[in-house]
Amino acid sequence: MKSEFQDRLAVVTGASSGIGLALCAALLQRGARVLAMSRSLGGLEPLMETHPEQLYWLAGDVTSADDLRQLCRRAAELGPVHYVVPNAGIAELADGLDMAAFDRQWRVNGAGA
C-alpha cells in the first residue's frame, strides 16, 4: 500500500535532535523526501547514510533571515512543498530570566517559526 507521504516534500527545522530528528526518521520511513535544516548535522548523519536520495540537509539557524531565504530557495528547487514543520525551539528556564535570554527564545521559538 502506498503511503500518503510517499514522494511528498517535508521541510523540517530543528531537525538534528529530539522531536525534529524523530519526525525526519518517521517521514523518511514512510517515503517522504525531507529538507532538514539545523545548526549542526547532529543525529541526522545516520539518516543521511540510509536515505541518501530522500534526505537533504541545510545548515542554518532560524533566527537568520539569510538562512531562512536559503531554506526557501532550496525548498523551491526541490518543491512543491507539502508539509512544513517549524520545530526549532529552545528553552532557558533559569530563575530570573533576563531580557537577552527572552529575546533569544522569542527569535527562535516565535519569529523562527
Rounded Cα gap, residues 102 and 87, in angstroms: 18
Residue 70 in contact with residue 58, Cβ under 8 Å?
yes
- CATH number of the domain within which 68 lies: 3.40.50.720
Residue 46 lies in a domain: yes
pLDDT tens across 6-18, in order? Answer: 999 999 999 999 9
C-alpha distances out from residue 83 to 3, 8, 35, 79, Å:
14, 8, 10, 11
62: domain range? 9-88
pTM over 0.75: yes
Q: Is the pLDDT of residue 93 over 90?
A: no
Lowest mean pLDDT among 8-17, 66-75, 87-96: 87-96
User: Percent of the chain, pLDDT > 70?
Assistant: 98
Residue 29 lies in a domain: yes
Residue 108 lies in a domain: no
Number of domains in the chain: 1
pLDDT tens across 50-69, in order? Answer: 999 999 999 999 999 999 99
Q: In this predicted structure, what is the pLDDT of residue 1? A: 63
Residue 94 lies in a domain: no
Residue 49 lies in a domain: yes
Question: Do you know the residue count of the chain?
Answer: 113
Residue 109 lies in a domain: no
